[in-house]
Amino acid sequence: GSAPGFSSSSGAAHRSYIEEDNDGRKKYKIQFEIGDFRPEELNVRVEGRTLIVKGDRQLKAGNA
């Protein structure tokens, strides 16, 4: 299952919301459950107005 407050679509749990900072500016935030991915295996980039989050992992012999 996914963590409380997270929705699951295509097996990827995420949560998005708008939050105000201390200066009253609104910020759009997205949180993802990344499972067993390590930070160095993740890539975040923007293409036009689209945010892309991609995880790449090299499986080594002996890992299932």
> How many domains does the chain divide into?
1
What pLDDT does residue 63 have? 55
Name the percent of the chain lying above pLDDT 70: 77
Instruction: Please say if the pLDDT value at position 9 is more than 90.
Output: no
What pLDDT does residue 2 have? 42
Is 60 inside a domain boundary?
A: no
Q: How far apart are CA 56 and CA 64, in angstroms?
A: 16
Q: Which SS3 state, helix, strand or coil, does residue 42 take? A: strand
| Residue span of the structural domain in which 29 resides | 7-55
Is 62 inside a domain boundary?
A: no
Is 51 inside a domain boundary?
A: yes
Instruction: Please say if the pLDDT value at position 20 is more than 70.
Output: yes
**CA geometry: angle 52, 18, 47, nearest 5 deg:** 20
Q: Which SS3 state, helix, strand or coil, does residue 16 take? A: strand
